[in-house]
Chain A
């Protein structure tokens, strides 16, 4: 039988893969993908915990909102990547180091 724990483990795995991708990939698109994976891990959690709210389906509803938000965020993210590319002629985050204080 598939229990809540199985969901949570899968979710944690996806989150970790996402996190790893965010921290290590040298391409901004891949970072966005990582973010997407982390969001999806959390959405999976929402859905999994949603079994405790079978009356109003709070978990499922929230997951839908989160998916919409994630899509919006990806759109923003892609826009950012596009602009970064225009500005730096690269989307390698290692070469974009102007966040630091000068």
Chain B
């Protein structure tokens, strides 16, 4: 073990990334012949071991980086290399740690699917892309892996490509992500123009170019270039746009709920450690680039996202959709964390969120798995993901219930869970930040507190509706009653869930369950200075407020959903709006899709009638001209020739008559020609 620890972290990091790539290549080559996915699993196990080694070597140790020259364009040399600092090794460890349980779980969950070999291939590619993204030391390389993550997610969301909805969903995810990619590209271009390098160490390292540049007299001056200061803001916003698309921030969040069309295990991976985490990670990486206005914008968007997604989650019935919206909402929290300047808190929440959200999805997957089995068994037609069909599952799946409850408590930020630590770190920091800024800014922490309580309510609603009360669908099968309609999930599924459940508890992150400042993770990422003063009152009041609010919301939820005293009209406008996500999709459909279609129709019309008419007109002219020339050729040129020919022919024919061998004819012609000669001589 000691010897292993002496392997250079560079190599262990590279092996971490390479293992899933090898698994991917293997699966791609072998194809259908290997459906077990054992290689992918092995790949991720290797990845996990090497990531752990790397993490042990690097965490809280000096930054390590290695580079090779890649190519040179003009005076700029691009290097390919890896950068291992606390941030990247944390992500490097997180990805396989979450991916490993998902892989194990998938072996049971995806068993028997005819395309499972593709599933393993895509999953390995996805992990490879995400791992590559976190350790790359150049923004250009990050961009490449960023695209790869987007592509792999596209493949996974559309895994069941025979379903129309899945195809629509992956198209949507891909298109929305393209918008973000555009932002990334613009950001890259601005950075490169300003600093003539895309290397993260050169840019953001200690005394990097970013720190040497400053805004003076309205100019953003770097050691090599200077441009108007507006470009600093634009660069920040461009990177944020990239993160908005990947991390599903409001108005670009629309792809994430639809991405539920993929297998549940994929959803859990997308929502936990990969894909959506990429945006937050990117922002944490380029954080020094952001100026005041960009940060405020990020915080505002984060707040809007958190609030809107929590509201939408209230009206959903699909178990996975609720979780999807809760992911968006939590990502909003992380964005606020970045926007207020505490990206360490954002990363902390990202890590804790990764575990409990992964667990929530895997539990939901277990439920859906069992519901689907029940559906097949009972030959009933119902949606296995619809909450309204569930209820009382606690009796059939006690372990799943327990694990999902732990994850839900963590999501709600209940004390003794990891979520409590990380969520409070963001809310409290936001409060302190707002205090230092002014009264108006207090709106953000207030909204966050309300959203946290809403979070507790909607996840409570999910638990109550799914696990308490009576199994609603049972009424329909009373006559052909089965002993136990549902079973506990298989061990292969439960073990990874159990591991994730452990990671949802506070000891994993902090020995003191009530103070996020004691967390090793926050220590490791700790920023040199916060821009605002800490407030000790907030550390007591806000968690208390959140706890009381959550407790009250649960009591209400219990009354509404378990004791069936539901006071609201399910068809009320606000609930319908929540169910339909405030009609944002319809709005996009109307503006962008229909707009594009209308534009296309107009172009078609233009092409059909204007361009084609023009062509037809020219064609008509050319055709007429050619007809004319045909006529000319036929009648004038040919006619002349024919006339000459027929005159000659006629003359010849006439003259031929002379030669009939008769004496008198010969004499006659002689006379005629003499006469003609005479006439000529006389008259001419």
Contacts and interface: CB of A to CB of B under 8 A. Distances in A.
A100 B664 contact: no
Contacts of B667: 22-23
A99 B667 CA distance: 12
Interface string B666-684: 1110010000000000000
A23 B660 contact: no
A22 B664 contact: yes
A39 to B, nearest CB: 15
Contacts of A96: 662-663
Q: How large is the interface on B (under 10, 10 to 19, 20 to 34, 35 or more residues)?
A: 10 to 19
Given A19-B671, A23-B671, A97 B664 contact: no
B668 A23 contact: yes
A97 B671 contact: no
Contacts of B660: 97, 100
Contacts of A22: 664, 667
B661 interface: yes
A65 to B, nearest CB: 23
B671 to A, nearest CB: 7
B659 interface: yes
B664 A99 contact: no
A99 B671 contact: no
B664 A24 contact: yes
Scoring B660, B663, B666, B668 by chain A CB atoms within 10 A of each residue's CB, the highest score goes to: B663
Interface string A65-85: 000000000000000000000
B417 to A, nearest CB: 128
A19 B671 CA distance: 9
Contacts of A100: 659-662
Contacts of A99: 661-663, 666
Contacts of B671: 19, 23
B669 to A, nearest CB: 10
A98 interface: yes
Interface in A11-44: 19, 22-24, 31
Contacts of A24: 664
A101 B659 CA distance: 8
Nearest to A95: B662
Nearest to A19: B671
A34 to B, nearest CB: 10
Contacts of A98: 661
Contacts of A97: 660-662
Interface string A85-102: 000000001101111110
Contacts of A101: 659
Contacts of A94: 662, 664
A100 B664 CA distance: 12
A24 B664 CA distance: 7
A65 B663 CA distance: 27
Interface in B9-55: none
A31 B667 CA distance: 11
A40 to B, nearest CB: 18
B45 to A, nearest CB: 113
B662 A93 contact: yes
A1 B197 CA distance: 136
A23 B664 CA distance: 5
B400 to A, nearest CB: 121
A95 to B, nearest CB: 9
A93 B667 CA distance: 12
Interface centre among B659, B662, B666, B668 (most CB of A within 10 A): B662
Given A19-B671, A23-B671, A93 B659 contact: no
Contacts of B666: 99
Nearest to B661: A100
A93 B668 CA distance: 13
Interface string A51-68: 000000000000000000
A96 B667 CA distance: 14
Interface string B652-666: 000000011111101
Interface string B49-81: 000000000000000000000000000000000
Nearest to A102: B661
Contacts of B662: 93-94, 96-97, 99-100
Given A19-B671, A23-B671, A93 B661 contact: no
A98 B661 CA distance: 5
Nearest to B671: A19
Interface string B350-365: 0000000000000000
A91 B88 CA distance: 133
A36 B515 CA distance: 159
Nearest to A97: B661
Interface in B623-673: 659-664, 666-668, 671
B253 to A, nearest CB: 107
Contacts of B659: 100-101
Contacts of A23: 664, 667-668, 671
Nearest to B666: A99
A95 B662 CA distance: 8
Nearest to B662: A97
A45 B666 CA distance: 26
A100 B667 CA distance: 13
12 contacts: A22-B667, A23-B667, A24-B664, A93-B662, A93-B663, A94-B664, A96-B663, A97-B660, A99-B662, A100-B660, A100-B661, A101-B659
Given A93-B663, A94-B664, 16 more contacts: A19-B671, A22-B667, A23-B664, A23-B667, A31-B663, A93-B662, A96-B662, A96-B663, A97-B661, A98-B661, A99-B661, A99-B662, A99-B663, A100-B659, A100-B661, A100-B662
Closest 9 CB pairs of A and B: A100-B661, A97-B661, A99-B661, A93-B663, A97-B662, A23-B668, A23-B664, A100-B659, A93-B664
